[in-house]
Homo-oligomer: A and B are copies of this chain.
Amino acid sequence: MARGAATEEPVRQRLLTEATRLFAERGFESTSVQEIVAAAGVTKGAMYHYFASKDDLLHEIYGRVLRMQMERLTTFADASGPIAERLHAAARDVVMTTVENLDDSKVFFRSMHQLSPEVYKIVRADRRRYHERFRDLVIEGQRGGVFRGDVPAEMVVDFFFGAVHHLGTWYHPGGPLTGPEIGRHFADLLLRSLAPVG
């Protein structure tokens, strides 16, 4: 009967989708479990069947985002070609991905600190690994003399991802700029600011 595969859309998935939407809209603390299950068309019992807690639901949302972003970054970082091009492509991609999944991004930067201390640590560690991978690209360029070396790579990454995370604050689909356009501009700004002296 091909059950669990595709009745319409599995309950677990619907819960994640609706929770993401609501958390992005009103924040984690201002969204009740009751609202989430109502939006997904189920009851609380169903939610606590699939997730250990409201916290766990948030954690799952983060896990999904982090896994996807890390996967994409690795693809671009490990490609062949000049370091400047690889960094540009990776930077451009993360902006486009962020714009395409704006709700995920909003939840991320608004509600991360609402996780329990233990789960928060795990998420921070994952995020750190991601930043380090990105930072290594900058360092590689600096070592090769392609990027200027008089600026800390770590700080450049924080600078850039600050800008990326804040897309959720000001970007609206249908605005004057599309995702790919912003991606190109952001990547250009990053690469230019790293251009070697002289």
Contacts and interface: CB of A to CB of B under 8 A. Distances in A.
A166 B161 contact: yes
A174 B98 CA distance: 32
Taking chain A's interface residues, is the majority helix, strand, or loop, or is none over half, making it mixed? helix
Contacts of A109: 109, 166, 169
Interface residues of A, number: 35
Nearest to A188: B151
Contacts of A30: 29, 114
Contacts of A156: 189
Contacts of A139: none
Nearest to A164: B162
A152 B189 CA distance: 11
A162 B169 CA distance: 9
A105 to B, nearest CB: 12
A10 to B, nearest CB: 30
A92 B164 CA distance: 20
A195 interface: yes
Contacts of A177: 152, 155
